[in-house]
Amino acid sequence: MVDFYDPNSAGSEENSSTALKDLGTPLVEAKEQVNLTIDGRSITVPKGTSVMRAAALLNITIPKLCASDNLESFGSCRLCAVEIEGRRGMPASCTTPAEQDMQVCTQNTKIARLRKNIMELYISDHPLDCLTCPSNGDCELQDMAGAVGLREVRYGFDGENHLDAAKDKSNPYFTFEPSKCIVCSRCVRACEEVQGTFALTVDGRGFDSKISTGMDNDFLSSDCVSCGACVQACPTSTLMENKVIEQGLPERSVTTTCAYCGVGCSFEAQMKGEEVIRMVPAKDGQANHGHSCVKGRFAFGYATHQDRITTPMIRDNIDQPWQEVSWEEAIGFAAKKLKGIQAKYGKDSIGGITSSRCTNEETYLVQKMIRAAFGNNNTDTCARVCHSPTGFGLKATMGESAGTQTFDSVMKADTVMVIGANPTDAHPVFASLLKKRLRQGANLIIADPREIDLGNSPHVKLNHHLPLRPGTNVAFINAMAHVIVDEGLEDKAFIDQRCQLEAYQQWRTFISDIRHAPENTQDITGIDAEELRQAARLYATVNNGAIYYGLGVTEHSQGSSMVMGIANLALLTGNIGREGVGVNPLRGQNNVQGSCDMGSFPHELPGYQHVGNDELRTKFEDHWQVAIDNEPGLRIPNMFDAAIDGSFKGLYCQGEDIAQSDPNTHHVEAALTSLECLVVQDIFLNETAKFAHVFLPGSSFLEKDGTFTNAERRINRVRKVMTPLAGKADWEATMALSNALGYEMNYQHPSEIMDEIAQLTPTFTGVSYKKLEQLGSIQWPCNDNNPIGTPTMHMEDFPIGKATFALTEYVATNERANRKFPLLLTTGRILSQYNVGAQTRRTENQSWHDQDILEIHPHDAEERGIEDGDNLGISSRAGNTVLAAKITERMQPGVVYTTFHHPESGANVVTTDNSDWATNCPEYKVTAVQVEKVSAPSKWQQRQKDFSSQQENFLPRKRKGKAQFSWANK
Amino acid sequence: MTTKYHSIIKMSNQIADNIGLHLSKEQAADKVVNHIQLFWAKSMKNNLIKYFQEDGAQLGSITKRAVEKLMAKAEQ
């Protein structure tokens, strides 16, 4: 990919014109500066910067093929040769560091002849079908041939060549066409340096060199994770997106933010008209710096999948077919029903769930509608089932419900401890950055019942894998803290200056007790005492220790305690308040952080302001012109209980599939069937919608303006690239419902909603769309104290002044393996599918993972006579289901694992109602199960299949001519 | 009756088990009350009180004390 030559901006010295340009080699940071002259013009650059990059900063474009500024220089194509005063020959400018007083000449007759000769050699073994090549107009080889003035190839074309090389079309998203390859090895280096997977190599030498995915395999069967970094790096058409091959080059580009995970990659949505041709990671994306994963880059097709429902539908009960109606009628129907329920059962008998996929503005409106129009605080969001303990635990210890760093901070870490997270699968772009740091030599500790891919990454040394038994987290973290205190490794100065001393002393007495020693917790956690001691020392004795954690920490009955335990550890060792350290919750969804920030919780208004705090609440009441209930409302699991109890009868559920993602499916289904009015606003008929009475068609991230907030607290713009298929963006639908319920909302544009948020939320006062345009993205808090945002938190003090230590006694979960259920089931995610799979199952990502499987250790399998591929019945006290088996040693004996991406798997039929004591976050990670060979699907699976089939048949017959664009019918 | 209150009993006992560590029964009960007031919906609080009044057998001692305090506050 390349920048187009734009005569209008050529010759301009402005920095902004170089901002997105490929500067050839990476940025070098150094204190010392050097000044050099290139083609008579002077520039000062950090020492270590290449001559090529220095020239590019002067807007002098030296021809290049193998160089790219996201990769270390390689020096293989030799096209970038220059002449340097006082030096022999013509060195490559990409591998030559700039030096003080250097005089460089980038263009003269001698250099020109060399460059022509080089191009001539390249073109002698290259197809000459430019006009019909997918790269036509976007090819660096074309550009270089033009730049060097190539006019003939004196070798002729009759010699040996690679023009017959076979295409590899195994990957569903891109094609590998080796006949076009110039072996610049940018793809190989991108896979190594940017992605860290090392799936590619150059096979053979000299003329026989070719890019290879390994012996006897192709892209799909290799280690390739389809991140597309190679496709992006490729200067020719060798690696090319299939959509560009089919449809041609895009004509315009809009910058937006990915709607998959909490990394929140910035993308250029490259369009033809209103169709997205390809998503190219934005180079200036502060979270991703030009990289992405298979989902964000390639799996956007779901937005225009034929399953998209684009017309509102209603029905009186769920045994009836759906009736397509107008927006007005659907909204009116919903409003009338909801009001009717309140009249009959009371104000608190309805509630809503905000979406962690929708924008900040949309979430804000949903919780506002619930508080103002419903008149209660029965609002909650999916963070309930993932990171609500993070909110509780970090607020309690440090005063703010969010992670403390940027992603880039990992590059300064000396020891990284990953607890209960699987970043290569769930936060791939961050994991690539982490792997880069680990390859540089940082230490790695992984605490996880399974072996995760991060520990097996190429050139990454895993110092300690602590394979703890599910449910024993707090015992583990207490042991770590005990070792640090016991061996005198704490950061006394930090504790004195920044922590509440009385609380610390109390905690210190608690943690010093011998019961927390690793020797005494060994039997509980299964972690070898000496190994744990070494790990603790490795974290405590380096300059910068950083902890990254995920749902393996929070989705437990002591999730909140574990978060506090992690915070305790970071405070104990002074690993807070600068780069390279911190407590980093890996927030899952694209806007789950945002949804929490926007007041989706039943007890907190936007900005985590408690509803019971009169001063804070009246601020909202005054602005919204309505009274707000001063007591907390129902959380999602409480809503289910109340529904079954008969006191909760109506639910507005936006962009959340509780029927698939929440635990204890029998319980959820019972709750949903007892509702008198379930309104689902979503883009597909998901599992929850099958129980609904009103279906309001939602809009994908491509169809609206707004903002998402990622795991770094980074607020990023989402920009509309196509008209909403259903005619309304989600925020417009919520507004309509609120108006129909009698609470007026009249926003013309999401920026107005953000302005209102800024007025009411102290951590957001400086945020506006104008500022977002200027800065690109903003990490909150952004206010008078922090006018351009806050990359690193708690640098000088904590929101509560000094941080506190929490006493976290280990309390074993009720969910214990016993004779009837001797194994423990834990759950997780995989790279190619995303959460409930509603989006990714409707893309070609199905090629990688089209069913959930149960991973089991060979020992447990042997005991039960299980072989790979066998159908296994998994049963718990909550229910049972059937999955195919995979025997693997990355599990430990006694622990089995599955994913939850496919509704028919019924993974949540098996999970229980156990939850975190403080937040009711479900204990997905510990379920006592028995596993045995079976021959038929479970009863639930059979029922689900029949029910799904019935509900899908209830959808109106349509499709022919209904969709707006013909390509949407693919 | 136990099925209806099953959730409430479990949740309230669990809070007491986790939040009241290393404290006297009174202090622990205060902390439980505080937590419930910060995070529980009205209907849940009412249900807990109702259960305590009707039976309360499955509540731990700290939990029971906490409910008494909740009832006292409710009357204020």
- Ordered DSSP codes for A606-670: TTTEETT-HHHHHHHHHHHTS---SS----HHHHHHHHHHTS--EEEEES--HHHHSS-HHHHHH
CB count within 10 Å of CB A889 equals 12
User: How far, rounded to the nearest angstrom, does the alpha carbon of residue A932 sit from its chain's CA centroid?
Assistant: 35
- Selecting from A631, A917, A919 the residue whose C-beta is nearest the C-beta of B42 gives A631
pLDDT band at A622 (very low <50, low <70, confident <90, very high): very high
A327 phi, psi to nearest 5 deg: -55, -45
Residues 6+ apart with CB under 8 A from A279: A258, A267, A268, A269, A270, A292, A296, A297, A298, A300
Tokens of A505: 């002393």
Contact B39 A809 (CB under 8 A): no
A545-549 vs A582-585, strand pairing mode: parallel
User: Which of A211-215, A414-418, A572-576 has the lowest average pLDDT?
Assistant: A211-215
Contact between A632 and B38 using a beta-carbon 8 Å cutoff = yes
Q: Measured between alpha carbons, how far is A757 from A767 in angstroms, rounded to an integer?
A: 9
ipTM, 2 dp: 0.95
- Identity at B50, one-letter amino acid code: K
**Averaged pLDDT, A98-108:** 96
Alpha helices in A873-938 (DSSP H): 907-910
- In angstroms, what CA-CA distances link A516 with A367, A425, A521? 43, 33, 6
Q: In the predicted model, is pLDDT for residue A830 greater than 90? A: no
Residue A850 pLDDT class (50, 70, 90 cuts): confident
d(CA A636, CA A645) in angstroms, rounded, equals: 14
Distance from CA of B8 to the nearest CA of A (A): 9
Instruction: Share the mean pLDDT of chain B.
Output: 92
CA–CA–CA angle A292, A294, A296 (5° rounding): 60
Q: What is the mean pLDDT of residues B29-38?
A: 96
Segment (H or E) for A709 = strand A706-709
- Cα-to-chain-centroid distance, residue A837: 14
Q: Which range has the top average pLDDT, A274-278, A843-847, B2-6?
A: A274-278
Give the minimum alpha-carbon distance from B11 to chain A in angstroms, rounded to a whole number. 7
Give pTM, 2 decimals. 0.93
- pLDDT tops 90 at residue A726: yes
- Chain A residues inside the 8 Å CB shell of B20: none
Residues in chain A: 970
Cα separation, A400 vs A567, in Å, equals 12
Q: Is the pLDDT of residue A390 over 50?
A: yes
Q: What would the mean pLDDT of A219-243 be, rounded to a whole number?
A: 96
Output Rg (C-alpha) for chain A, integer angstroms: 29
- Tens-place pLDDT, residues A465-524: 999 999 999 999 999 999 999 999 999 999 999 999 999 999 999 999 999 999 999 999
pLDDT band at B3 (very low <50, low <70, confident <90, very high): confident
CA dihedral A511, A512, A518, A520 (to 10 degrees): -100
Whether the predicted pLDDT of A118 surpasses 70 = yes
pLDDT score of B40 more than 70 = yes
Per DSSP, the residues of A404-415 read: -S-SGGGGG-SE
Q: Is the pLDDT of residue A962 over 50?
A: no
CA distance A679 to A653: 6
**Dist CA A333 CA A448 (whole Å):** 49
* Amino acid in the structure at residue A609: Q
The answer to whether residue B27 neighbours chain A at the CB level (below 8 Å) is no
Residue of A nearest to B31 (CA): A918
- pLDDT digit string (tens) for A623-653? 999 999 999 999 999 999 999 999 999 999 9
CB contact under 8 A, A807 and B35: no
What's the token pair of residue A51? 């001559």
Express each pLDDT in A294-314 by its tens digit: 999 999 999 999 999 999 999
Q: Tell which residue, B75, B58, B8, has the closest CA to residue B36.
A: B8
Residues 6+ apart with CB under 8 A from A960: none
In the Cβ-directed half-sphere of A171, how many Cα atoms lie within 13 Å? 30
Per-residue confidence (pLDDT) for residue A18, from 0 to 100? 58
> Distance (Å, rounded) from C-alpha A254 to C-alpha A56?
25
Helices A473-486, A501-512: axis angle to 10 degrees equals 100
Q: Which residues pair with A651 in a beta bridge?
A: A351, A678
Within 8 A of B9 by CB-CB distance, chain A residues are none
Nearest-angstrom CA–CA distance, A921 and A553? 11
| The residue count for chain B | 76
Q: d(Cα A319, Cα A915) in Å, to the nearest integer?
A: 33
Residues A639 and A633: their CA atoms lie apart, in Å, by 9
Q: Helix or strand or coil: residue A41?
A: strand
CB-nearest to A610 from B7, B38, B40 is B38
- The pLDDT, as a whole number, for residue A19 is 63
Residue A619 three-state SS: helix
A965 pLDDT tier (thresholds 50, 70, 90)? very low
Q: How far is A363 from chain B (nearest CA, A)?
A: 20
Q: Contacts of residue B14 in chain A, CB cutoff 8 Å?
A: 557, 917
Peptide bond into A781 cis (omega under 30): yes
* Chain B interface test: which of A601, A640, A641, A915 (most B C-beta within 10 Å): A641
Distance from CA of A912 to the nearest CA of B (A): 12
Binary contact (B15, A807; C-beta < 8 A): no
The alpha carbons of chain B give a radius of gyration, in whole angstroms, of: 11
- Asked if B3 reaches chain A (Cβ–Cβ under 8 Å), the answer is no
The encoded tokens of residue A772 equal: 């977002």
Distance CA A842, CA A844 (A): 7
Q: Tell me, what's the pLDDT at A963?
A: 40
Judged by CB atoms closer than 8 Å, whether chains meet at A917 and B19 is answered as yes
Structural contact between residues A374 and A548, judged by C-beta atoms closer than 8 angstroms: no
pLDDT digit string, tens, across residues A326-368: 999 999 999 999 999 999 999 999 999 999 999 999 999 999 9
Residue A964: band (very low, low, confident or very high) from pLDDT cuts 50, 70, 90: very low
Find, in chain B, the residue whose alpha carbon is nearest to that of A509.
Answer: B22
* Beta-carbon pairs below 8 A across chains A and B: 57
CB-based contacts of A11: which residues, under 8 Å, 6+ apart? A59
Q: Is the pLDDT confidence value at A4 over 50?
A: no
The fraction of chain A above a pLDDT of 90, given in percent, is 91
Among A827, A853, A960, residue whose Cα is nearest residue A385: A827
Q: Could you say which of A510, A603, A918 has the minimum Cβ distance to residue B22? A: A510
Angle of helix A730-740 versus helix A327-345 axis, rounded to 10: 50
The mean of the pLDDT values for chain A is 93
CA–CA gap between residue A916 and residue B14 (Å, rounded): 9
Question: Does residue B11 register a pLDDT over 60?
Answer: yes
Give the mutation candidate from B18, B22, B35 for the A interface (greatest A CB count, under 10 A).
B18
Task: Judge residue A366's burial from the number of C-beta atoms within 10 Å of its C-beta, 0-12 exposed, 13-18 middle, 19 or more buried.
Answer: buried
Strands A275-281 and A313-314: unpaired
What band does A8 get if pLDDT is binned at 50, 70 and 90?
very low
